[in-house]
Amino acid sequence: MIVPMKKARIVILKEDKEDVLKALQRAGELMVIHTEDSQETLDSSRAENLVQRSQRSLQTLKPYTEKKGMFDQSKFFNVDYEDFVNPNLENVETLEQIEKADGAISRLKTENDACREFIKTLEPWSGLGGKLSTIYDSKYTKIHPGFVATKLLDAFMENFQDLESEVTLFGQSEDSQAVLIVNWHEDDEAVMEQIKSSGFMETQLPNEDKTIHDLVVEKQKVIEANEAKIAEIEDQLKKLATKEREIQIFQDQMATELAYKQTPLQTTAQTALIVGWCKAKKTEVIKEAVATATPYFDVEFVEPADDDDVPVALENNKFVSNFETLTDQYSHPSRSDLDPNPVMSVWYWMIFGMMMGDAGYGLLLLLATLFIKKFMKPKGGFAKLINIFFFGSITTMLWGILWGSYFGISEIGGTSLILWFNPQNEPLVMLVLTMIIGVVHLSFGLVMKCILCFREGQYFAGIFDNISWLVIMIGLCLALADFVGGLMPHSFFSADPVKIPPVVATIGYVVLAIGAAMVLFTAGRDKKGIGKVTGGLTSLYGVTSYISDILSYSRILALAMSGAIIAYVMNFLAGMVQSGVIGWVLSIVVYLVGHVFNIAMSLLSAYVHDSRLQYIEFYGKFYEGGGRDFKPLSLQYKYIYEINEKK
């Protein structure tokens, strides 16, 4: 449900503002907002700087920390509140040590990269004898070292057939050939002009009183020395990595400090004003929080005005609250909406199980989610997603039992495991069932819209734009009841199809006519002239939209059957190779790979397509969304699993 909100105005002494903000943050019940008046915040530069530095340092230490196993529960640690709000500033020194070590490693690696690149440029000239300082222009000659693309080398060499220049080829560098050209002084300009279009790229060799070999050895020694220094520094980082948890706690502490210091305030010379939203039933919590920080304050709570941008807070039971994340992925409820989650959650839960539709898959999903909840201890949105799959595993098993599907097996030793019917054997029955679910699901959406209309005083719209379509769908269901009953076997109770008295169809036609008349004669009520007549006809044509929506639920049939068929195929393939030890081993591999793949695809498909049915077909009937989520000022902890409150 959507919780009523109130706007809080808290006046305090300016000197108490930091203590009050800390107390409100601890309470976690006030969403502080910006107002039109001038705002100021506490100085947050130090906290922001330390948050960034802590994050970088943790990233630096990551390769050097001891890897924790999946079952290692030590990675989920709690901290007492009193310890949490008293950061250990010695961690700043630790950050400096990490940053210094990381900077030193970066500089040494950069130097090594430069040395390797230098060696790489010298490798093609390794055949060049003598010291490099002697291989330069002389009194009579000019020397041009450079490179020519290998594919242009033949054309390049042809330029020198009639010239007195000397060309020497050395080694290759990737796709280029090292070339040394020696020209007579008087011929140099003409020769270089002739070859400039031949792809020759002149380079400069180091003017060193050393050979190529000497330079390479020298750089290799630098690399080796740097690698030794890097190893020493990495040993230091391994020791610093033992303080990873302290830095994680410090990062959360600084993130929490940053949050309250960036909270906007209005201040005068002596006072400060905090404005924010809180849940109506939490006003006393706000007062108590402020009172713990200062005895000098004044708090006022007022009802939101019509033009206020009021954040929306939801409160639902432990089952429904997990499905709120699905609605938020679509759009958060607005102030004028009904909370769709109590209704949507039940439908999503049921349809999810139908789409998966296998008791064996449901059991594996149940075990997997229990494993994740116990050993990974998910938080936030991920925890809600895991809980959705956990609840979905139950309906998956229930529908799988009804349909007699256990890893795609519906018969053992000639005995059928089917309690109701099997979609794979009777797809038409399954199609009718999905249509029934579609009609009922859409009807819930119309009821929700009707409630919204009545709440806003739009009684005619509620009756003639929504109840009229409910009447049409009820009439249609009654008219087709005998046909549907003849298709639906109820082996729970009887081997015979359900028999519907003929009078039910007659009643259905009457109800259908009443609903159609309601739409026909009232849909154009707000229009003028001929529009009053045509409005009813065009609105009645909207039945095609409802038919399209109902047909969308056939995706339940498609997903249930595709999962069952893939499971059957995997079982069939595994059975084909079950001969001898190797065959049995191979069949086990087929079982594992095939069913794991099928579970993963079925899980993804059920999650996506079930969400689509809620978003498009169900929410499309009544839900607006576009609301702002209620995000109160609270403690920020990413690495700490939980903070122990001892108020």
Model confidence pLDDT, tens digit, residues 454-480: 988 888 888 888 888 888 888 888 877
Lowest mean pLDDT among 435-444, 572-581, 619-628: 572-581
41-67 confidence digits (pLDDT tens): 888 999 999 999 999 999 999 999 988
Q: What confidence category does residue 493 fall into, taking pLDDT thresholds of 50, 70 and 90?
A: very low
Could you tell me if 277 and 7 are in contact, meaning their C-beta atoms sit under 8 angstroms apart?
yes
Cβ neighbour number for residue 405 with a 10 Å cutoff: 29
What pLDDT was estimated at residue 485? 63
- In whole angstroms, what is the distance from residue 150 CA to residue 160 CA? 17
200-225 confidence digits (pLDDT tens): 888 888 888 888 899 999 999 999 99
- In whole angstroms, what is the distance from residue 561 CA to residue 405 CA? 11
What pLDDT was estimated at residue 73? 79
Residue 495 has pLDDT above 60, yes or no: no
Q: Token pair of 457, please?
A: 């005083």
What pLDDT was estimated at residue 102? 95
Residue 321 has pLDDT above 80, yes or no: yes
Residue 491 has pLDDT above 50, yes or no: no
Q: Domain extents for the chain?
A: 5-89+243-302, 136-204, 341-408+417-618
76-93 confidence digits (pLDDT tens): 899 999 999 999 989 999
Residues in a beta bridge with 642: 78
Residue 492 has pLDDT above 50, yes or no: no
Helix-, strand-, coil-residue percentages of the chain, each rounded to 5: 60, 10, 25
pLDDT-above-90 percentage for the chain: 59
Planar angle of CA 543, 548, 553, nearest 5 degrees:
130
Q: What confidence category does residue 523 fall into, taking pLDDT thresholds of 50, 70 and 90?
A: low
What pLDDT was estimated at residue 293? 94
| Reported CATH class of domain 136-204 | alpha beta
Higher pLDDT, 186 or 368: 368
Determine the 3-state secondary structure of 318 from DSSP.
coil
pLDDT-above-70 percentage for the chain: 93
153-170 confidence digits (pLDDT tens): 888 888 888 788 889 899
What pLDDT was estimated at residue 533? 56
560-590 confidence digits (pLDDT tens): 999 999 999 999 998 888 888 888 899 999 9
Q: Token pair of 407, please?
A: 């890893």
Q: Quote the strand ranges of 233-270, DSSP E.
A: 266-267
What pLDDT was estimated at residue 340? 96
Closest CA to 630 of 326, 382, 379, 324: 324
Residue 500 has pLDDT above 80, yes or no: no
Q: What confidence category does residue 527 fall into, taking pLDDT thresholds of 50, 70 and 90?
A: low
Tell me what the pLDDT averaged over the chain comes to: 89
Q: What is the pTM of this model?
A: 0.84
